[in-house]
Amino acid sequence: MADLAPTVGIAAACRVLGVPRSAVYRAAPPAPAAVPRRRPARALTPNEVAHIRTVLNSDRFADCTPRQIYATLLDEGTYLCHWRTMYRILAAHREVRERRNQLRHPTYAAPELLATGPNQLWSWDITKFKGPTTWSYFYAYVILDVFSRCIVGWMVMERESAALAEQCIAETYHREGIQPNQRTLHADNGSAMTAKPVAQLLADLGVTKTHSRPHVSNDNPYSEAQFKTTKYRPDFPDRFGSLIDARAWMRAFVQWYNHDHCHSGIGLLPPAVVHHGQASAMTTARQQVLATAYAAHPERFVRGTPRPPRVPQAVWINRPAGPADPSITAALRE
């Protein structure tokens, strides 16, 4: 093998001799150990490096760049090293970053919320309707059940305030007959959402409150999607003539949205049907219609008997990555 390999190559030699190439590589002598590199004579000593780090991170120079420190020390008649060497020393100790003393925002954890049925998780938000004149607005407060997508509470007012938000939430909870410690209410970080009166009301009602991360609109996706449905309606006006007009339009919209709108996220069922536990009966009726159609023309359904869309068993805000929690999986099977 040693004689043939230089002439015809290892692959050809292995074919002739019937030896796998992996055996040749395994039998090859190990590569010689790398010779440690000699320390350059001009390199800084460990004591000098430690002194330079101390100077760079001192209170005097903590807010300065290495270039500024280099120039300042030169003006004072001191030379430690070149400013590029200062950068290399900082990089070796993972200290290359913004050196000025500035506010650093904390890392916010994403809210991970689960609903497996109606009246477990509500989401609420406020959106603007244009008023009759420029820079005039009406404010729509909307509370949405995340699992059923049903609008359970709403009001349209002339201003946005914590007191009005508190009123809307309290009336909705009393109307729905919610018991303490049974509900989670999710919102973004608007001033009305984070106001102390609202927090006190939720504490009195025994409601767990959660908030979106700052500047992350995806943490409140169901309310945002519902607002898009609202403003993309063909009859949504560019401006409302008065507060009475805005409330009348919103009342008709909520009636349509809850009882007539076939929502794609809940098996093309109206939100009110899912919210009031009628989804199974309606899905069964749809299945019978599809079975009749299949019996009449089975050749038109290449994948067998068609099935209507199903209502999801679980709805998440920021579903966690990784394997599912066994307790949640068991709850969904029940």
- pLDDT category at 72 given cuts 50, 70, 90 is very high
The pLDDT assigned to 31 comes to: 67
Which residue, 114, 109, 112, 110, is CA-closest to 328?
114
Instruction: Give the pair of three-digit tokens for residue 84.
Output: 């590029």
61, 69 contact by CB (below 8 A): yes
Distances (CA, A) of 168 to 159, 164, 199, 215: 13, 6, 14, 25
The pLDDT assigned to 253 comes to: 97
133, 158 contact by CB (below 8 A): no
The pLDDT assigned to 1 comes to: 55
The pLDDT assigned to 144 comes to: 96
Say yes or no to pLDDT of 2 above 70: no
Cα 125 → chain centroid: 17
The Cα 164–Cα 131 span in angstroms is 19
Looking at the chain, the whole-number percentage of residues with pLDDT higher than 90 is 62
The Cα 56–Cα 233 span in angstroms is 61
Say yes or no to pLDDT of 23 above 70: yes
Structural domains present in the chain: 1-30 (no CATH), 46-92 (no CATH), 113-273 (3.30.420.10)
Say yes or no to pLDDT of 190 above 80: yes
Helix (H) and strand (E) counts for the chain?
13, 7
pLDDT in tens, 238-292: 999 999 999 999 999 999 999 999 999 999 999 999 999 999 999 999 999 999 9
pLDDT in tens, 46-58: 999 999 999 999 9
With the CA atoms of 93, 94, 98 and 99 taken in that order, what torsion angle do they form, in degrees rounded to the nearest 10?
-20
The neighbour count for residue 243, using CB atoms within 10 Å, is 15
Beta bridge partners of 122: 145, 185
Say yes or no to pLDDT of 99 above 80: no
**Mean pLDDT lowest among 30-39, 145-154, 165-174:** 30-39
CA angle 155, 167, 148 (to 5 degrees): 60
Q: Which residues contact residue 86 at a Cβ distance below 8 angstroms, ignoring those fewer than 6 apart?
A: 52, 56, 66, 69, 70, 80
Q: Mean pLDDT, to the nearest integer, of 87-115?
A: 82
The Cα 273–Cα 150 span in angstroms is 9
Which residue, 301, 127, 97, 78, is CA-closest to 229?
127
The Cα 69–Cα 269 span in angstroms is 68
**Mean pLDDT lowest among 210-219, 237-246, 273-282, 317-326:** 317-326
The pLDDT assigned to 113 comes to: 93
- pLDDT category at 100 given cuts 50, 70, 90 is low
Instruction: Give the pair of three-digit tokens for residue 299.
Output: 């050749």
**Mean pLDDT lowest among 114-128, 192-206, 223-237, 297-311:** 192-206
Q: Which residues contact residue 219 at a Cβ distance below 8 angstroms, ignoring those fewer than 6 apart?
A: 110, 111, 188, 212, 213, 317, 318
Say yes or no to pLDDT of 101 above 70: no
The Cα 29–Cα 46 span in angstroms is 38
Q: Mean pLDDT, to the nearest integer, of 104-117?
A: 86
